[in-house]
């Protein structure tokens, strides 16, 4: 059973039909949910979490991370004796604290986190499992139930989970959110500008639109509530600012040596080449939202230079996190790798950064945006996060149907190619 409608859909789609699923959403959504699941005899929609909790052997809370404490406080005491309780929220510190605070001592706690969004096939994607307070038998039960997803199980503690997802998810989202904010601030639809079409530019646009087409609370929750995330996002904003200042001041040598030091730290350490993403330009070109220009326009790729600088400053080697990577993180790492593994392109980015001031206004807005997202996160400002996110969401909304279609195709193609290489 679970709280929250999207997860019910996923479990029902993949689960063994013998499994009985008891589920609820907010009481006002009861009639609509009953209607949605009318043709599913193994799903029973109940009116509240109390009714679900008292009859279920395994309970998953899949609600907004910022509401987890209130929801567990409300329904936790109704948990069936000896049941297993877990959560699917993207940040585990508040979830586990809520379980410890509000659940009776005689229930097991096993949490999980599917590291992908709703439109991605769960097969082979990482699924984090956290055995926080449970017998081996209870843990095996959870593994068995979730095995229907065919995901790759990754065993972590709550703290390990939050540290890794801060590096992978939170900072990745911050970069794409900042791109969207900058395009919006310049009143620009990037697919109408030659600079942003083709190759890795397509990834920037498609992923940015994919993020803005989703719900704000998912990104706000995993950034604001994860104590490690604030540090990462702050460093990213600082790296953007410092590199932008070097560009503005025309400090070519300082900029170059900083970028090369970051490259050495992040990309030149020994690792199995299997982990590299190896994106191909001709494949990426297929996923444009606009017309491909005859000649590719140069870009200084401030967003990517700053990402590698940030990893370097924090001592992070992103390949170490592949086991816990989301599709968006792999795309993001894929495009940074594309730039940093190509000497000609990287030198071109440095030259463009110093010599070409055509896109200074874009980079200025990008710098403001990275800093502004960072301060909203650091201040724990959910309302401010929502307000900014939804204003930008509205701006891009007309292109969501197209962008989601192209973005899903792009992710599917690239993930399939990466999997082929791994096998």
Quote the CA–CA distance of 137 and 143 in Å, as a whole number.
10
Quote the CA–CA distance of 43 and 200 in Å, as a whole number.
43
Whichever of 67 and 186 has its CB closer to ligand NDP, that residue is 67
> Which residues on adjacent β-strands are paired with residue 21?
43
The interface partner of residue 367, options being ligand ENO, ligand NDP, none and the CB cut-off 5 to 8 Å by kind, is none
Whichever of 218 and 248 has its CB closer to ligand ENO, that residue is 218
Task: Tell me: does residue 90 bind ligand ENO (CB under 6 A).
Answer: yes
Quote the CA–CA distance of 104 and 100 in Å, as a whole number.
8
Number of chain positions touching ligand ENO (CB under 6 A): 10
Task: Tell me: does residue 213 bind ligand ENO (CB under 6 A).
Answer: no
Could you tell me the smallest distance in angstroms from the CB atom of residue 235 to ligand ENO?
19
The interface partner of residue 144, options being ligand ENO, ligand NDP, none and the CB cut-off 5 to 8 Å by kind, is none
Residues 203-262 close enough to bind ligand NDP by CB under 6 A: 215, 218, 221-222
Task: Tell me: does residue 126 bind ligand NDP (CB under 6 A).
Answer: no
Whichever of 43 and 68 has its CB closer to ligand ENO, that residue is 68
Listed ranges 85-93, 180-188, 203-211, 309-317: which one lies at the site for ligand NDP (CB under 6 A): 85-93
Could you tell me the smallest distance in angstroms from the CB atom of residue 6 to ligand ENO?
11
Whichever of 6 and 153 has its CB closer to ligand NDP, that residue is 6
Task: Tell me: does residue 124 bind ligand ENO (CB under 6 A).
Answer: no
Task: Tell me: does residue 117 bind ligand ENO (CB under 6 A).
Answer: yes
Listed ranges 109-117, 194-202, 292-300, 377-385: which one lies at the site for ligand ENO (CB under 6 A): 109-117
Task: Tell me: does residue 62 bind ligand NDP (CB under 6 A).
Answer: yes
Closest CA to 61 of 44, 47, 43, 79: 79
The interface partner of residue 274, options being ligand NDP, ligand ENO, none and the CB cut-off 5 to 8 Å by kind, is none
Q: Which helix (H) or strand (E) holds 21?
A: strand 21-24
Residues 6+ apart with CB under 8 A from 281: 198, 199, 200
Q: Which x/- pattern over 169-208 shows residues binding ligand ENO (rule: CB under 6 A)?
A: x---------------------------------------
Task: Tell me: does residue 393 bind ligand ENO (CB under 6 A).
Answer: no
The interface partner of residue 71, options being ligand ENO, ligand NDP, none and the CB cut-off 5 to 8 Å by kind, is ligand NDP
Torsion angles phi and psi, residue 201, rounded to 5? -60, -35
Quote the CA–CA distance of 255 and 274 in Å, as a whole number.
30
Quote the CA–CA distance of 404 and 130 in Å, as a whole number.
32
Q: Hey, what are 355's tokens? A: 């010599």
CA distances from 360 to 37, 201, 300, 367 (A): 52, 17, 10, 10
Could you tell me the smallest distance in angstroms from the CB atom of residue 31 to ligand ENO?
29
Could you tell me the smallest distance in angstroms from the CB atom of residue 33 to ligand NDP?
9
Quote the CA–CA distance of 99 and 86 in Å, as a whole number.
8
Task: Tell me: does residue 117 bind ligand NDP (CB under 6 A).
Answer: yes
Q: 92 and 161 in contact (C-beta within 8 Å)? A: yes
Q: Hey, what are 241's tokens? A: 């600012």
DSSP annotation string for 288-339: -SSPPPSSPPP---HHHHHHHHHHHHHT--GGGGGGG--HHHHHHHHHHHHH
DSSP 8-state symbol, 19: S
Could you tell me the smallest distance in angstroms from the CB atom of residue 349 to ligand ENO?
25
3 state SS of 89: coil
Whichever of 65 and 259 has its CB closer to ligand ENO, that residue is 65
Could you tell me the smallest distance in angstroms from the CB atom of residue 247 to ligand ENO?
29
Q: 61 and 95 in contact (C-beta within 8 Å)? A: yes
Quote the CA–CA distance of 249 and 241 in Å, as a whole number.
12
Closest CA to 143 of 127, 159, 121: 127
Binding site for ligand NDP (CB under 6 A): 3-7, 24-26, 29, 49, 62-65, 67, 71, 88-90, 114, 117-118, 215, 218, 221-222
Binding site for ligand ENO (CB under 6 A): 90, 115-117, 169, 218, 222, 326-328
């Amino acid at each position: 059973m679970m709280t929250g409608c999207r997860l019910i859909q996923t479990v029902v789609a993949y689960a063994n039909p013998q499994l009985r699923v008891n589920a609820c959403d907010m009481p006002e959504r009861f009639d609509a949910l009953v209607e949605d699941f009318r043709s599913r005899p193994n799903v029973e929609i109940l009116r509240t979490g109390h009714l679900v909790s008292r009859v279920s052997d395994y309970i998953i809370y899949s609600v907004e991370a910022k509401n987890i404490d209130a929801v567990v406080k409300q329904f936790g005491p109704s948990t069936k004796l000896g049941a297993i309780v877990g959560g699917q929220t993207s940040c585990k510190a508040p979830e586990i604290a809520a379980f410890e605070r509000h659940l009776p001592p005689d229930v097991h706690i096993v949490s999980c986190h599917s590291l992908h969004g709703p439109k991605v096939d769960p097969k082979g994607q990482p699924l984090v499992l956290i055995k926080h307070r449970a017998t081996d038998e209870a843990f095996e039960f959870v593994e068995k139930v979730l095995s229907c997803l065919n995901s790759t199980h990754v065993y972590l503690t709550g703290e390990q989970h939050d540290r890794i997802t801060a590096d992978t998810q939170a900072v990745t989202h911050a970069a794409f959110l900042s791109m969207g904010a900058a395009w919006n601030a310049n009143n620009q639809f990037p697919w109408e500008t030659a600079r942003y079409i083709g190759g890795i530019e397509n990834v920037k646009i498609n992923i940015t639109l994919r993020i803005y087409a989703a719900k704000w609370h998912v990104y706000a929750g995993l950034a604001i509530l994860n104590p490690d995330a604030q540090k990462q996002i702050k460093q990213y904003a600082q790296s953007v600012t410092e590199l932008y200042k070097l560009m503005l001041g025309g400090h070519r040598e300082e900029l170059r040596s900083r970028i090369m030091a970051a490259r050495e730290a992040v990309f030149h350490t020994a690792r199995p080449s299997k982990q590299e993403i190896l994106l191909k330009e001709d494949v990426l070109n297929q996923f444009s939202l606009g017309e491909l220009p005859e000649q590719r326009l140069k870009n200084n790729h401030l967003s990517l230079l700053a990402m590698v600088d940030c990893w370097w400053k924090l001592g992070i080697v992103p390949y170490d996190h592949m086991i816990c990577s989301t599709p968006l993180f792999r795309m993001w790492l894929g495009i940074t790798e594309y730039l940093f593994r190509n000497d000609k392109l990287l030198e071109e980015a440095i030259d463009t950064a110093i010599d070409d001031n055509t896109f200074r206004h874009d980079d200025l807005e990008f710098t403001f945006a990275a800093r502004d997202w960072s301060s909203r996160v650091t201040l724990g400002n959910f309302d401010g996060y929502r307000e900014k996110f939804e204003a930008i969401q509205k701006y891009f909304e007309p292109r969501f149907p197209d962008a989601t279609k192209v973005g899903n195709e792009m992710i599917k193609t690239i993930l399939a190619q990466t999997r082929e290489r791994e096998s």
